[in-house]
Structure 1
Amino acid sequence: MWSGIGCAASPPLGDEDAARPTVVLLHGLARRAASMDRMAQVLSEAGYHVCNVGYPSREHAIADLAAQVVAPAVAACAPNPVVPVNFVTHSMGGIIVRELARAASVQTLGRVVMLGPPNQGSEVVDALGGWALFAAINGPAGGELGTSETSVPNLLGKATFEVGVIAGNRSINWINSLMIPGVDDGKVSVSNTKLEGMQDFIVVHTSHPFLMKDRDVIEHTLHFLSTGCFAHEEAPLTDLLPCNPDVLPSLQSDAAPVSKQQR
């Protein structure tokens, strides 16, 4: 039975809301919509119509969650198909948006900000995904987030929409970090958050569970939703497009523009 359908803390869309840009928030695996409440509050205060969507992340596969739960919730919160729908996602929520894009479930997809997304999978799933306890805690979707070529993140392909990725480089889970090569946030390596075709990328000194509550992350999110780029302290990468994806760091490198928290 499907559960968790709907927009948390989102009032019916009235005439005033219809004129405001819509942002849909999607939490991560084994989290709830309430984990995005701080982000929802700030975005609402900034003038966005916010739909904080809860979904039963541990009960179904990613494709089923996207099609049967998230897509209907988005349609209910943003019923006008010609108005762009923006997204801010945490962790697996970013993979849900990629599945929505693949299936063309959102007719007009706007800008997307992904926080700590396992866009190339997580080695933690590679190491623990076969354990019964892991499956019991994380469900079918959790087992789909490995790094193999056949994992869901790696089958979804490059971004076909305007997306910025924010990665964390601080871990409070040293056990997980032992399984992850390179710099990581305790769940995902910095390298594996990157997505081919992304518009911009930045690293903050924050751990995976707290990305959506971090002040700098929220500021970067607002900036990307408004401009299509993050608020880098460095000089623009080009005179015409500060976050031209053609000159972004390699997907195989941990190098990235750095947020002020790292300085």
Structure 2
Amino acid sequence: MIKRQPKPLVILIHGLHMHAWAMRPLAKKLTKLGYECHRFGYFSVAHNLANHSRRLHRWLTKYEKAGVPIYLVGHSLGGLVIRDFLQRYPQWQITRCVTLGTPHNGSISANNIVKILPKFVGRSYLQGLDGNAPALKDEVQLGSIAGVRSVGLGKVVLPRNRQLAKIEPHLQPNDGTVFVHETKLAAAKDHIIVNASHTGLLINDEVAMQIHHFLQQGHFLHTKNC
């Protein structure tokens, strides 16, 4: 009898003001591509990144399997949770992770709204959305995916972003909430842009395929159409 090899584990981490269920469409796509997917939920506003990392550390013990790689995929704030987690718990030896619409260099949207409605971002701002998340370790390969379909709530509640884009041309491309330049991390292994909005990154077929390619190869599939 041939023993089946266990599938690689992919842990999906949602973003600000979201719930684990938001990662369900992406989990379904990645499951079809050969992964065992689990969705980690956390209170994005009530607690800071250190607390999220501690809970993730404890939660992961339910799924770890000897010899089976664990990959992390985070959307928006979830990508910053990943960076904090990797710094605090290196014993997990996670080698590859992918972030979707994550403002690695800080969020202009968060900077704007924290001045008028700080409770909206809560404890996710300091050492997170303010651009001060922990540095990425050299042994970790991170792939960052950015969207350029500029629609969503951010366009409505943060009009200053549009004004800023007129002044600084390099800030123009964005997914409706996060600017492309905010998703670029110097220590990242690769970066790619897809035609999707901030939340649309979670249901986009190309995003799922790019995640799969990066987790297998350590880089994205760059084509003329990307």
In structure 2, what is the equivalent of residue 88 of structure 1? 73
In the alignment, the residues of structure 1 paired with residue 62 and residue 45 of structure 2 have an alpha-carbon distance, to the nearest angstrom, of 23
Q: Which residue of 2 aligns with 1:229?
A: 219
- Superposed displacement of residue 79, structure 1: 4.8
Distance 1:227 1:108, change over 3 A: same
> Which of 141, 155, 171 matches 2:124?
141
Cα offset, 1:96, TM superposition: 0.7
Percent identical among aligned pairs is 28
Taking a change above 3 Å as real, the CA distance of residues 177 and 198 of structure 1, as seen in their structure-2 partners, is farther
Alignment-derived partner of residue 198 in structure 1: 188
Counterparts of 1:89-128 in structure 2 under 5 Å?
A: 89-128=74-113
Aligned to 1:197, the other structure's residue is in SS state: coil
Task: Tell me which of 150, 157, 174 is aligned to 2:155.
Answer: 174
Matches for 1:1-263 after TM superposition, within 5 Å: 19-67=6-54, 69-80=55-66, 83-131=68-116, 133-135=117-119, 137-142=120-125, 144-147=127-130, 151-153=131-133, 156-160=134-138, 161-172=140-151, 173-175=154-156, 176=158, 178-179=160-161, 181=165, 182=171, 183-234=173-224, 259=226
Q: What CA RMSD, in Å, does the superposition of the two structures yield over aligned residues?
A: 2.1
Q: How many pairs does the alignment contain?
A: 212
TM-score, normalised by the number of residues in structure 2 = 0.85
Give distance in 2, aligned partners of 1:205 and 1:108.
32
Which runs of 5 or more residues in structure 1 are unaligned?
Answer: 1-14, 235-257
CA contact (8 A) 1:91 1:114 kept: yes
Report the TM-score when normalising by structure 1: 0.73
Q: 2: distance between equivalents of 1:174 and 1:120?
A: 20
Larger helix share, 1 or 2: 2
Higher relative contact order (CA 8 A, sep 6+): 2
Say if 1:146 and 1:51 are closer, same or farther in 2 by CA, change over 3 A: closer
Pick which of 177-186 and 101-110 moved more: 177-186
Cα deviation for residue 106 of structure 1 reads 4.8
Could you tell which deviates more after superposition, 174-183 or 215-224? 174-183
1:39-83 deviations in Å (ceiling 9; x for gaps) = 11121122211111111112101111111x211112222254x54
SS of the residue aligned with 2:160? helix
